[in-house]
Structure formats: structure tokens, C-alpha cells
């Protein structure tokens, strides 16, 4: 697309383009109108980002005094089992929602096998202390100064 300005100057000129549909081939099809929500769901099949300064994302249970399993629901189905990555494990806490005496996460393994079908992924968490085998727990995405981020990428 080549857009020019009629009077030869570009100062203060703005051009807005809306509702463009690219077609393969020489035959145009009717314009396809998609809602923002529908387009977002289509994008989330390929990539999902989890973050938030005061949120907890999933719940689970301690299986020792320093290790826990957390299960987190995705925003919707993904096209394939994604690769999971996270920001620094120090950005996360595990425990209760009021951050009182909540241990820091010292290790995290993101397991995404079966995510495309189940809509869930699992975290294996290691923390310094504070757990009791069999007790419930939550993962907090905030360490008091930095928010944690988990990315799920199922790009082609």
C-alpha cells in the first residue's frame, strides 16, 4: 500500500486505515467482520501471557515442606501443547493470598504436555520452606516489587 499526501507536505497530516482484508488470488470475498473477543480467542490459540501484580493464578498442594504442584487454567484451547517460559523465579511467591510469611519460589518447572486438550498446565515449584505435605497452596505472581510472568507459546 502506497499512500501519498496531495499537497506535497507531510507536516500535521494523518491517515487512518480501518477494516482492511487481504485476499489470496484475484477474486475478492465478502468482508469478514470479527468481534474483538473472537479475534482475541484466535490469537490465544498461539500465545498466552500470564501476569498481574496482585493475582494468584492457580492452586495446588504441597507434597513436601519445600515442593508443591500448582495447576493453572489457560484462557482457552491452544493449537498444540505450548512451550512454557517464565520471568525470574524470584518474581513469584507461594502460599496464601495476603503475602504474610509467604516463601519465595526458588525453582519452577513448567509442564505443558496435554495443555492443548486439557486447557491446563502444571508447575512444579520449589520454595525455601513453609510447606506441609498435603496442605493446599496458591501461586502468587508478585514478590512485593516485581510481577511474575509466564508465557505459553504454541506458534507454528
In sequence order, what DSSP letters do the residues of 59-127 get, joined into one string?
A: EEEESSSSEEEEEEE-SS--SSPPEEEES-GGG-EEE-TT-TTPPBEEEEEEE-TTHHHHSEEEEEEEE
Residue 94: what pLDDT?
A: 87
122-137 mean pLDDT: 87
What pLDDT, in 10s, does the model give residues 12-62? Answer: 667 778 778 888 888 888 888 889 999 899 999 999 999 876 667 788 999
> Residue 5 pLDDT more than 60?
no
Q: Residue 35 to residues 25, 32, 40, 48, 104: CA-CA distances in angstroms?
A: 25, 10, 9, 19, 41
Query: For residues 92 and 81, what is the distance between their CA atoms, to the nearest angstrom?
Result: 24
Query: For residues 88 and 117, what is the distance between their CA atoms, to the nearest angstrom?
Result: 28
Across 6-10, 17-21, 49-53, 104-108, the highest mean pLDDT is recorded for: 104-108
Residue 125: what pLDDT?
A: 93
Sign of CA dihedral 123, 128, 133, 139: negative
Return the higher-pLDDT residue of 58 and 6.
Answer: 58
Grid cell at residue 119? 486447557
Query: For residues 108 and 124, what is the distance between their CA atoms, to the nearest angstrom?
Result: 6
Query: For residues 137 and 122, what is the distance between their CA atoms, to the nearest angstrom?
Result: 14
Grid cell at residue 13? 497530516
pTM of the full structure: 0.76
Averaged pLDDT of the chain: 84
Amino acid at each position: 500500500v502506497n499512500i501519498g499526501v496531495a499537497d506535497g507536505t507531510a507536516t500535521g497530516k494523518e491517515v487512518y486505515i480501518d477494516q482492511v482484508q487481504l485476499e489470496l488470488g484475484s477474486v475478492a470475498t465478502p468482508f469478514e467482520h470479527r468481534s474483538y473477543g473472537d479475534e482475541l480467542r484466535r490469537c490465544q490459540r498461539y500465545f498466552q501471557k500470564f501476569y498481574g501484580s496482585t493475582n494468584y493464578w492457580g492452586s495446588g498442594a504441597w507434597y513436601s515442606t519445600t515442593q508443591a504442584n500448582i495447576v493453572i487454567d489457560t484462557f482457552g484451547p491452544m493449537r498444540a501443547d505450548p512451550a512454557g517460559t517464565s520471568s525470574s523465579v524470584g518474581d513469584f511467591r507461594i502460599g496464601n493470598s495476603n503475602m504474610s510469611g509467604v516463601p519465595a519460589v526458588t525453582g519452577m518447572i513448567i509442564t505443558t504436555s496435554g495443555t492443548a486438550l486439557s486447557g491446563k498446565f502444571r508447575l512444579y515449584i520449589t520454595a525455601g520452606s513453609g510447606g506441609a505435605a498435603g496442605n493446599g497452596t496458591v501461586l502468587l505472581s508478585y514478590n512485593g516489587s516485581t510481577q511474575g510472568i509466564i508465557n505459553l507459546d504454541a506458534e507454528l
